Chain A
């Protein structure tokens, strides 16, 4: 199931998307104008932020001076990707209830971050995830491992967003020309490099705050509008959505995830795959490096806690709104209208906006443009966060602490960080252009699976398990990383999905049905690779005698009391 599941949630998936009929483009000028305005505002913010950025702590952690509410908004802006907005709304519009399952996993995941990670991490780390992982370990091996998994997770997530941006533009502006799409990807890449290189964490944070406000505002307008059409009666909205979709069981689980078929084994794997996805969603979030570094941007652990609480409120309300938007799209648009534009339903939200304003009317065109521009803003804010997280890890972990063995100055570290951001951005552009035909689902699945399998075990064990040591951390990271990658390589994502009778091709990465080297039956590796990540972390620990008791004492006392935590630059 879930290549398709994830496919639906990624902005751009099937190559069939490209063959979609050219949409009405009367709104094009307005959309481009609104988007240009967003770019102008964010560039302005970046210039301002670059003047405020003097020290390494400014560049990497925004001077640690954001308030809880500001950081809560920025976390929302960093987290709510186009997959959340367009993907979940689209899945609900086409498959009803099952789209809702995804948003629940994405939200509940924040309790892991709130209770187990955010404050302890703020108290012990400085700029990166590896600061915490390597705190009581030998620096070079642990930082190297953490840096590799940070870059891998971020690059795959980045690719998914950038390929998504290209397709989104194609869908909403009616661009089908390959060169124009490559230019869009290049443009998105150039903007994210500018945000990060010049604005650092301060600029990136403000871009994310602006985006979060726009996204919440846009979603709120649509939600209230839809609800008003149904007299604020949820039952009536749902009934109308179910009737208009013409699908049996539209309001019940099972149209998409864990499908029941005549074949018992297929049904079993389909259901296990769904549980595996659920596990990766709830455990992956607290292992995403671009999310984790946001905890460093506030003055202390108490503010980190407040910011996660704000984020939970903002993200939760957002997902409740996508529920109304998705069912509203199902109620007000025909299924054919949605799928003719994008087979996976990714344009359902902008289409609904147009329908609410009135198709063919000025108001309709304005609504469509606004929501389309919000979707672009969403992608830009997320890619900036990802670029910052991965370049920070290259500069702070690999360069300053492994290569220079902690002897680099802050100025050198920032300079290398900026170079790393350009390199990461260039690599992402270079990879995203040929990756356009690729199944984005695969990339999103990789990012979540690796974050949950490689990063989370090491983070939790280093914070809570007294005995944990260097070998445990490196084996946990490499073991979880390798498990997730190997299982994905031999999963139906890559080869061996049953042939689609309509196209005569397999929906796998290798679309030639004669190529089939898959032996792992699930698309989502989490069910196996997350326990393996914990297992390798345990095995490495117990097979090594190394253990730094003094550093464990320091880490535990510091993490819980906040003593000697990095201070804010403003007092």
Chain B
């Protein structure tokens, strides 16, 4: 019940004549709007994919990184903001020369931001991209459901 989507989709982009939202455009060929032809072509079975073991693992891997990290960096940032407002003596304490805790705390926000960005990149390259790419090929290729899915 499936068909190769990739070909169809790039045709849409190159023609650029279809201007529907993401809701329906995968159901149409490039001329659909001009000729009001609704070509057949069932969607992949998204609900089966969503319920699949393989997708569940990928979703868990994504959420396991982004949710705790978001809570952590937002708390770390808010801690900094609140200390700048309410812990002035601590922030004013000099560490070396004229450099005080407040400045180092601020610079550490830069360091943590760069660090998290790099860590996420490495994590995504290693743990998220390979299964995501595999599933994307399966979904866009000839297999419809996750269960019967042969590797593309």
- Chain A positions within 8 Å of B, measured between CB atoms, are 54-58, 64, 97, 100-101, 104-105, 107-108, 110-112, 114-116, 124-126, 131, 134-135, 139, 143, 233-236, 238-239, 242, 249, 251-254, 257-258, 260, 271, 274-275, 278-279, 282, 302, 305-306, 308-309, 312-313, 316, 319-320, 396, 400-401, 406-413, 549-554, 556-558, 560-564, 566-569, 571
Contacts and interface: CB of A to CB of B under 8 A. Distances in A.
Contacts of A115: 65-66, 69-70, 116, 120
Contacts of B129: 302
A258 B81 CA distance: 10
Given A409-B17, A564-B140, 6 more contacts: A110-B117, A115-B120, A126-B21, A131-B22, A253-B85, A308-B117
Contact of A409 (B18, B92, B139): B18
A557 B49 contact: yes
A251 to B, nearest CB: 6
B90 to A, nearest CB: 10
B23 interface: yes
A57 B26 CA distance: 15
A104 B109 contact: yes
A411 B113 CA distance: 42
A309 B69 CA distance: 16
B118 A309 contact: yes
Contacts of A275: 78, 81-82, 85
B3 interface: no
B37 to A, nearest CB: 13
B79 to A, nearest CB: 11
Given A55-B15, A108-B109, A407 B33 contact: yes
A49 B39 CA distance: 34
Nearest to B36: A407
A316 B110 CA distance: 7
A401 B23 CA distance: 10
A57 B16 contact: yes
A567 B59 contact: no
A252 B92 CA distance: 6
Contact of A54 (B10, B16, B24, B33): B16
Interface string B49-88: 1100001001100100110011001100110111011101
Given A97-B102, A253-B102, A564 B86 contact: no
Given A107-B110, A400-B19, A235 B74 contact: no
B148 interface: no
A550 B47 contact: yes
Taking each of B13, B43, B62, B109, which has the highest tally of chain A beta carbons within 10 Å of its own beta carbon?
Answer: B13
Contact of B85 (A257, A279, A306, A407): A257
B139 A252 contact: no
Given A316-B110, A560-B62, A252 B102 contact: yes
Contact of B50 (A110, A238, A557): A557
Contacts of A564: 5, 9, 26, 44, 139-140
Nearest to A238: B98
Nearest to B50: A553
Contacts of B88: 252-254, 260
14 contacts: A55-B16, A104-B109, A107-B109, A135-B21, A143-B21, A253-B84, A254-B88, A279-B78, A409-B17, A410-B18, A412-B19, A557-B49, A561-B135, A562-B132
A274 B113 CA distance: 21
B73 A108 contact: yes
A558 B136 CA distance: 8
Nearest to B45: A553
A560 B127 CA distance: 13
Contacts of B14: 55, 569
The 3 closest A-B pairs by CB, nearest first: A55-B16, A235-B97, A563-B139
